């Protein structure tokens, strides 16, 4: 049996980042930059005022022999406009926040430090001396033309989008979002809208995986259910040929798996592994028509857990991320883990910060067929292989599902 780490390493060795594309700025969130982003202009592009006030010469702002300077107001400049004259000695110009500093002025005094009689006043008294450059945001203070502002490989979030907008990137070079085909298998599986009939159960995996794929940043394509026949599987795999990854659930038990293996033998190659973990021992990995295929187990909890362990890192690698794995922290397992397993056990749990510790509560009965064991879980408590016992109050590592990858 392979360890989780060995299986993951073998899978990731076969996966590379997808090609770059240009996407509209607003659609770039969550994607990874495929090129360095270089400032095309100085930002801000012109020296501008940080305050509402008056633009003047610093040397005109100092009082002489107790006498406040009184300057002639020659006009005003609003944000979005450019002054049509220069400020000269003995004069000042009204200025708004964000407006370009008029030629001649070397400083701005905020309105609160001035006195005048009405908004159209032709004079202003300066109540405090101000040094040159006061309240002036110089051109290029934030970014310089030619500067690399964002590096290739950066994940684009709201703040990066703000920077790209200010630099005029209406389209952004990013790694393309992977398209993931999702295929359920099994003669017993019916679709969600169908009433239950004897022997049948509804397809929960395809819908669960569709949502999980989307939450990992990829585009899911749900292909429905393949029957347990080579013909049915072959037909579905043909539909998946243009995708970047095929995710299947079920049909990887030893007997079933032969079907998939037959197709793989004609159209690609496949590795089938027993992984030393619980839930989710059997996992298949290979290619069909050149498209990587990750075959997850059929039990809904197993398929959910193995998606988190193998599927999510694969999608992140295709997306161009370098941080692929969820962080692990030490937790106190308040209620302990009842069942002892020889395989490494990923126990669904709720982890919270309490009194200076991370404290885990397991989500009850951990049967791999019990979907309710996923409810409220934000972590997997990891019980090492070899039948390790976790008593109430013992510490263990937990993989934090709702934390960003490291």
Residue closer to ligand AMP, measured from CB, 203 or 244: 203
Task: Give how far the C-alpha of residue 19 lies from the chain's centroid of Cα atoms, to the nearest Å.
Answer: 18
Q: How far is Cα 11 from Cα 17, in angstroms, rounded to an integer?
A: 13
| Shortest distance, position 10 Cβ to ligand AMP, whole Å | 21
Shortest separation between residue 32's beta carbon and ligand AMP, angstroms: 31
Spatial neighbors of 334 by CB under 8 A, at least 6 apart, are 359, 360, 361, 392, 393
Give backbone dihedrals phi and psi of 226, rounded to 5 degrees, phi first: -95, 140
DSSP reduced 3-state for 400: strand
Instruction: Determine which residue in the list 102, 217, 250, 282 makes contact with Mg ion, applying CB under 5 A.
Output: 250
Q: How do strand 344-354 and strand 277-278 relate by DSSP bridges?
A: parallel
> Cβ 203 to Mg ion, closest distance in Å?
12
Decide if residue 286 touches Mg ion (CB under 5 A). Answer: no
Q: Which helix (H) or strand (E) holds 136?
A: strand 136-137
206 binds, among Mg ion, ligand AMP, none (CB under 5 to 8 A by kind): ligand AMP
> From the list ligand AMP, Mg ion, none, which binds 276 (C-beta under 5 to 8 Å, kind-based)?
none
Smaller CB separation from ligand AMP, 251 or 311: 251
What's the rounded Cα separation, in Å, for the pair 344 and 382? 7
CA distance 105 to 377: 62
Cα 380 to Cα 373: distance, rounded to the nearest angstrom: 11
Q: Which is nearer to ligand AMP, 17 or 245 (CB)?
A: 245
CA distance 396 to 382: 7
Name the site residues for ligand AMP (rule: CB under 6 A): 184-186, 188-189, 201, 203-206, 249-253, 256, 297-300
- Going residue by residue from 175 to 194, which x/- string records binding to Mg ion, judged by CB under 5 A? -----------x--------
Minimum CB distance to ligand AMP, residue 48 (Å): 60
Query: For residues 147 and 253, which CB has a smaller minimum distance to Mg ion in the complex?
Result: 253
- Specify the residue, 251 or 313, whose C-beta has the smaller distance to Mg ion: 251
Q: What are phi and psi of 180, to 5 degrees?
A: -115, 120
Give min distance, CB of 35 to ligand AMP, in A: 40
User: Which candidate, 291, 297, 296, places its Cα nearest to that of 264?
Assistant: 291
- In this complex, which beta carbon is closest to ligand AMP, that of residue 76 or of residue 297? 297
Closest distance to ligand AMP from the beta carbon of 189 (Å): 5
The residues that touch Mg ion, with contacts defined as CB under 5 A, are 186, 250-251
């Amino acid at each position: 049996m392979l360890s989780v780490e060995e299986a993951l390493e073998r899978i990731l060795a076969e996966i590379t980042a997808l090609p770059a594309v240009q996407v509209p700025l607003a659609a770039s969130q969550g994607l990874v930059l495929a090129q360095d982003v270089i400032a095309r202009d100085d930002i801000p592009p012109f020296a501008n005022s940080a305050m509402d006030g008056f633009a003047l010469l610093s040397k005109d702002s100092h009082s002489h022999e107790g006498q406040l300077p009184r300057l002639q107001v020659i006009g005003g400049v609003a944000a979005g406009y450019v002054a049509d004259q220069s400020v000269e000695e003995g004069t000042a110009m009204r200025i708004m926040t964000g407006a370009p500093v008029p030629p001649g002025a070397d400083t701005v005094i905020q309105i609160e430090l001035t006195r005048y009689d009405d908004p159209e006043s032709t004079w202003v008294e300066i109540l405090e001396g101000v040094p040159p450059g006061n309240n002036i945001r110089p051109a290029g203070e934030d970014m310089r033309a030619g500067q690399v502002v964002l590096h290739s490989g950066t994940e684009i979030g709201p703040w990066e989008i703000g920077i790209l907008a200010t630099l005029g990137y209406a389209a952004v070079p990013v790694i393309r979002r992977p398209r993931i085909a999702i295929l359920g298998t099994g003669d017993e599986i019916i679709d969600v809208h169908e009433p239950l009939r004897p022997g049948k159960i509804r397809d929960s995996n395809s819908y669960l995986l569709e949502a999980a794929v989307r939450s990992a940043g990829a585009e899911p394509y749900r292909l429905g259910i393949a029957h347990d026949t080579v013909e049915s599987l072959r037909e579905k795999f043909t539909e998946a040929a243009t995708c970047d990854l095929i995710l299947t659930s079920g049909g990887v038990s030893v007997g079933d798996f032969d079907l998939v293996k037959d197709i793989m033998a004609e159209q690609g190659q496949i590795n089938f592994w027993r992984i030393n973990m619980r839930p989710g021992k059997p996992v298949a990995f290979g290619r069909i028509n050149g498209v990587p295929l990750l075959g997850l187990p059929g039990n809904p909890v197993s398929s959910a857990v193995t998606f988190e362990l193998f599927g999510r890192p694969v999608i992140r690698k295709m997306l161009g991320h370098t941080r692929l794995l969820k962080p692990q922290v030490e937790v106190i397992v308040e209620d302990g883990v009842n069942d002892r397993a020889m395989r490494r056990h990923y126990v669904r749990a709720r982890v919270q910060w309490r009194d200076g510790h991370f404290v885990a509560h397991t989500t009850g009965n951990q049967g791999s067929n019990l979907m309710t064991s996923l409810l409220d879980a934000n972590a997997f408590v990891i019980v090492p292989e070899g039948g390790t016992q976790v008593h109430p109050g013992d510490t263990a590592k937990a993989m934090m599902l709702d934390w960003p990858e490291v």
